[in-house]
Amino acid sequence: MSKMNAQTLVDKAVDIAKNYKTLYVMGCFGAPLTGSNVTRYLKNHDYNKDAQRQAMIKAAANQSPPVYGFDCVNLIKGILWGWRGDPSKTYGGAGYAVNGVPDVGADGMIKKCLEVSTTGWASMLPGEAVWCSGHIGIYIGNGLAVECSPRWENKVQITAVAGCGKKAGYNTRTWTKHGKLPWVDYTGAVAGGDAGEVSKPTQPTESAQGPAVGAVVTFTGSRHYVSSGSTNAKSCKPGEARVTAVAKGARHPYHLIKTTGSSSTVYGWVDAADIAVEASAAIAKGSTVKVKAGAKTYTGGGLASFVYANTYTVLELSGDRAVIGQGKAVTAAINIKDLTLVG
């Protein structure tokens, strides 16, 4: 059996995270969410049968370029099974259980790894697996990992490894073990590694590209569509809604679902002109903000009274979670809706 070079594994994982549209879909190892694949993954696992996950999968369906589905362990298996982002192939070009790599879960995969350790995070080799109960990712060097998770960005994403220290601009995952994948050749890999150009976030800010997935907006229109390119509109009511998918350049670029308690009945693709974005959508990393009176922390905790009188800098931003502080000192994590842009 020919092993995959560790750097090749890393490069492929980073390429998927940075250059492909992806979505967390349980049991999916790189299938483009088109045609019969959509039907398959709507039914293949109880997790995917949840109403919110169903909506996300349907919203991702048949986009161009396509959205590829992965889950955590299937990201690793998909790459090792030959995934190459081919939209014409059922699994993006991946085979099934090929190249000597078995179909195992996250917990099963770490058990097959070599030199598994709970320490020595700074000495990891790029291409090692990083693991915590029920979840697994790929260390790519420079204290970063690639993982596919419904948390944070709900896709294949680059995150910081807590054992190596937090990194500004990245969400941080606390992994508990790491080890060498037996199907990977680590010859020439350097401890710690250097993730090169991914050492800094490369995604544009939400304000530069319009509302992102997860943003809460006000839908002001009266029509929605079953696809981003459809010409057949259906009537619906305006009101507060959440962005569940974005198809840049499409006729109807935003997929909306009404928020809980909203008077809207929107459930489909809408025109950009029919979205009114709250001022919070203009907040980006580095913005100067104030906290709205009475707001709580992102997790519902209380804030000292002086917090509402001061101004802060947004140090980190992920979805609706903003970490604010003064200088380099972190004050709190706040829902972006509870912040006001200053200046």
Instruction: Quote the pLDDT of residue 280.
Output: 55
Instruction: Quote the pLDDT of residue 200.
Output: 40
Instruction: Quote the pLDDT of residue 126.
Output: 96
* pLDDT by position in tens, the chain (length 343): 689 999 999 999 999 999 899 999 999 999 999 999 999 999 999 999 998 899 999 988 988 889 999 999 999 999 999 999 999 999 999 999 999 999 999 999 999 999 999 999 999 999 999 999 999 999 999 999 999 999 988 999 999 999 999 998 899 999 999 999 999 999 988 887 766 555 444 333 333 346 777 777 778 788 898 888 888 889 999 888 888 888 877 888 888 988 877 889 999 889 887 886 555 556 778 888 888 888 899 888 888 888 888 888 989 887 678 899 988 888 999 988 788 766 5
Instruction: Quote the pLDDT of residue 274.
Output: 80
Q: What is the DSSP letter of 299?
A: T
Closest alpha carbon to 292 in 246, 260, 324: 324
Q: What is the side-by-side order of every strand in the sheet holding 129-132?
A: 114-117, 177-180, 129-132, 135-141, 144-149, 155-161, 172-173
Instruction: Quote the pLDDT of residue 136.
Output: 98
Give the SS3 label for residue 55. Answer: helix
CA–CA gap between residue 12 and residue 25 (Å, rounded): 19
268 close to 225: Cβ distance less than 8 angstroms: yes
* Residue 31 CB coordination number (10 Å): 28
Q: Which residues of 183-199 are buried (b: 16+ CB within 10 A; e: fewer)?
A: bbbbeebeebbebeebb
CA–CA gap between residue 162 and residue 178 (Å, rounded): 12
CA–CA gap between residue 215 and residue 232 (Å, rounded): 26
Taking the whole predicted model, whether its pTM rises above 0.75 is answered as no
Instruction: Quote the pLDDT of residue 199.
Output: 40
CA–CA gap between residue 176 and residue 318 (Å, rounded): 23
Read out DSSP for 75-121? HHHHHHTT----TTSTTTT--SS-TT-----HHHHHHH-EEEESS-G
Instruction: Quote the pLDDT of residue 1.
Output: 63
Instruction: Quote the pLDDT of residue 96.
Output: 96
Instruction: Quote the pLDDT of residue 206.
Output: 37
Instruction: Quote the pLDDT of residue 284.
Output: 76
Instruction: Quote the pLDDT of residue 282.
Output: 61
Instruction: Quote the pLDDT of residue 92.
Output: 96
Instruction: Quote the pLDDT of residue 277.
Output: 59
